[in-house]
Amino acid sequence: MEFILVTPQARTHVALIQLNRPKELNALNLQLMGELRDALKELDENEEVRAIIITGNERAFAAGADIKQMAGKTAIDMLNMDQFSTWDQIRKTKKPIIAAVSGFALGGGCELAMTCDMIIASETAMFGQPEIKIGVMPGAGGTQRLTKAIGKAKAMEMVLTGKFMTADEAEKQGLINRVVPVELYLEEAFKLAGEIAQMSPVAARLAKESVNRSFETQLDEGLHFERKNFYLCFASEDQTEGMNAFVEKRKPEFKGR
């Protein structure tokens, strides 16, 4: 891996992925995205890992897709490059993913953070979809996920002007979970990931799948999907352990079985 660093932490069951092209503000070139996809696939299959954090550095989470890599391309080059199939695979990760964002989260960087399940931001974080300023528009989910998160009027303004949103505003608008001082954003992400990692991995997977389903279905179908996943929890040892532990007034020990 050249452009990302992966640190699984067996004790906490949390894995950290750090985007690592600092000089280019973590611009998301094809190689970095391919490495990210491969790392997530591996962590998704690793039974020791129960939650994943994606972060950048203090200055930038990621300043978007790599403009230099795209600048000379034609539509057919872009079609053949098929960069978004990588994003589709990232979206299919089953384990909970937290984006720990500091500094710029722009264009594809903002879209990557929104592809994660939760976002913890430092007070210096800036979110934006500035593609309009370079003659294009968001292509990795920005028009869809941002609109669903903050509503049409605010999303339209960001997408059509390229204006950035501060971390405080992003929290007010419901785009992110919370803002913390810059020296604490990673620690806060680890705290949240650690908390999730203590839950049943089976229930977490099914719950994540069900929440995500709400973006794709009508209520009736979503409720039906939720109910099936709820019943499926009862096939797990974790359900027995969780409920027995409650009755016996002790802490459950979930195994992901």
Provide the binding-site residues for ligand CAA, judged by CB under 6 A: 24-25, 27, 63-68, 104, 106-108, 111, 130-131, 134, 138-140, 142
Comparison of 127 and 185: residue with beta carbon closer to ligand CAA: 127
Report the alpha-carbon distance of residue 32 to residue 63 in Å, rounded: 13
* Cβ neighbours of residue 44 closer than 8 Å, sequence gap 6 or more: 93, 94, 95
Complex with ligand CAA: residue 157 or 253, whichever CB lies closer: 157
| Least distance from ligand CAA to the Cβ atom of residue 26, Å | 8
Q: SS3 letters for the chain?
A: CCCEEEEEECCCCEEEEEECCHHHCCCECHHHHHHHHHHHHHHHHCCCCCEEEEECCCCEEECCECHHHHCCCCHHHHHHHCCHHHHHHHHCCCCCEEEEECCEEECHHHHHHHHCCEEEEECCCEEECHHHHHCCCCCCCHHHHHHHHHCHHHHHHHHHHCCCEEHHHHHHCCCCCEEECHHHHHHHHHHHHHHHHCCCHHHHHHHHHHHHHCCCCCHHHHHHHHHHHHHHHCCCHHHHHHHHHHHCCCCCCCCCC
From CA 208, how far away is CA 115, in angstroms rounded? 13
The answer to whether residue 111 is catalytic is: yes
- The reply to whether 171 belongs to the active site is no
Annotated active-site residue in 111, 171, 188, 226: 111
**64/96 with CB nearer ligand CAA:** 64
193 is catalytic: no
Active site residue 253: no
Taking the complex as a whole, the smallest distance from the CB of residue 63 to ligand CAA amounts, in Å, to: 3
Residue 139 or 222 having the CB closest to ligand CAA: 139
Minimum distance from CB of 108 to ligand CAA (Å)?
Answer: 3
Indicate which residue of 107, 121, 131, 167 is catalytic.
131
Q: How far is the CB of 65 from ligand CAA (least distance, A)?
A: 4
CB of 103 to ligand CAA, least distance (A): 8
Nearer Cβ to ligand CAA, position 27 or 98?
27
Q: State the residue for tokens 């695979």.
A: 89
Single out the catalytic residue among 108, 109, 128, 141. 108
Q: Minimum Å distance from CB 132 to ligand CAA?
A: 9
Distance from C-alpha of 12 to C-alpha of 126, rounded to nearest angstrom: 29
Closer to ligand CAA at the Cβ: 65 or 99? 65
Q: Which residues are catalytic?
A: 65, 108, 111, 131
